[in-house]
């Protein structure tokens, strides 16, 4: 299970996305940007991911919704 979470690099100014293993909490990757296209490509490059979890906040435009 892959957890997709946003975090602040600079509170209120600059954010990034971190991908973690939802079972072990190990950080897997920090994509170069927060775009839906980047996440889509990452998921295509990692076909073993079957479940994607997001936190409760509204995702950026184009990101997967539960």
Mean pLDDT of 20-24: 93
Task: Kindly indicate the confidence band of residue 65, based on its pLDDT and cuts at 50, 70 and 90.
Answer: low
65 located within any domain: no
37 located within any domain: yes
63 located within any domain: no
Task: Give the domain range for residue 38.
Answer: 2-54
9 located within any domain: yes
Task: DSSP for 10-50, please give it.
Answer: ETTTEEEEEEEETTT--EEE--SS--HHHHHHHHHH-TT--
12 located within any domain: yes
Mean pLDDT of 49-66: 68
60 located within any domain: no
């Amino acid at each position: 299970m892959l957890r997709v979470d946003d975090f602040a690099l600079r509170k209120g100014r600059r954010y990034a996305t971190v991908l973690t293993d939802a079972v072990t909490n190990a950080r897997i990757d920090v994509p170069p940007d927060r775009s839906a296209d980047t996440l889509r490509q990452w998921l295509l490059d990692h076909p073993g991911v079957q479940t994607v979890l997001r936190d409760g906040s509204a995702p950026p435009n184009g990101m997967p919704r539960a």
